[in-house]
Amino acid sequence: MPRSVVTGGAGFLGSHLCERLLAENHKVVAVDNFLTGSRDNLAAFKKHPNFTFVRQDVTEEMRIPGKVDFVLHFASAASPVDYAKFGIQTLKANALGSHKTLGVAKAKRARYLLASTSEVYGDPEVNPQPETYWGHVDPVGPRSVYDEGKRFAEAMAMAYHHQHGIDVRIARIFNTYGPRMRLGDGRAIPNFVGQALRGEPLTVYGDGSQTRSFCYVDDLVEGVWRLLTADAVEGPVNLGNPDERSLNELAEVVQKIAGRHVGIVHKPLPPEDPKVRCPDIRKARTVFGWEPKVSLEDGLRRTIDSFREQIARKGT
């Protein structure tokens, strides 16, 4: 039975990944310090006989007894609200955390998968963004703790690949949404859904013409699984949905599906907010036959239902 270590295992993506690995008959060791993760995200499988949880900061020395076949580094704050609040922790999770987890992969001769991000492309001058695009990033700007943290993590992963022969996979993950996101996450979909369900106008920053591409979590996890288990993959791979929508359009779709026509209010655009974001996924299609299947409308229906349950459960 393969054994996988997932850092950030109590987070949104990490918990879904743990659940998928358990379904694929892996033993799973989830590591998290609950900076942005939640025990609630583990509820569906925390009593599974093949699941183990370790509460630890990934910037500290990691000692995982026994064999390890796969290391998946998903520990990092991932929303602008979180990495603005936890800037140093975000940098450390991606720099020191990558160092520690790569050390585990080296010691155990395990395959290593890094959760990178579309934010390595910055405010792109190319759209859609292929893996060959080097990006347009401000190294000292307000988003740099995340953008540059992930760029450093990619560089370190590739250094371990070249110098130590570690089998490294890099997933450049574009905007993903679904159940287990926090309503206070700060990203567009949880913000819009939370406001709609509370009967508040939806807050759109700037004129709303900026675009994003939204991938439902089940599709994203399938892409990660295929990347992890493919025979050989060279360099980073974009994982996301190329269905590009403006934020104004997203706000209208959320109101329609939520059944709450609350209107839109516009506020000033945050500094260095990307104008476009859309993945070129030809590499994922070619190398391991992956592309998203869930439409934005269907994914939003599932997500809104989960948020309704969250609000009913917590009364917020």
Q: What is the rounded distance in angstroms from the CA atom of residue 161 to the CA atom of residue 167?
A: 6
Catalytically annotated residue among 112, 146, 177, 216: 146
Q: What is the rounded distance in angstroms from the CA atom of residue 117 to the CA atom of residue 108?
A: 26
State yes or no: is 146 an active-site residue: yes
Task: Return the axis-axis angle of helices 144-164 and 87-108, rounded to nearest 10°.
Answer: 10
Residue 120 makes CB contacts below 8 A (sequence gap 6+) with: 135, 137, 147, 150, 151, 154, 172
Q: Which of 146, 44, 169, 143 is nearest to 91 (CA)?
A: 146
Q: What is the rounded distance in angstroms from the CA atom of residue 101 to the CA atom of residue 114?
A: 10
Q: What is the rounded distance in angstroms from the CA atom of residue 135 to the CA atom of residue 86?
A: 24
Q: What is the rounded distance in angstroms from the CA atom of residue 309 to the CA atom of residue 43?
A: 14
For the annotated catalytic residues, the residue numbers are 146
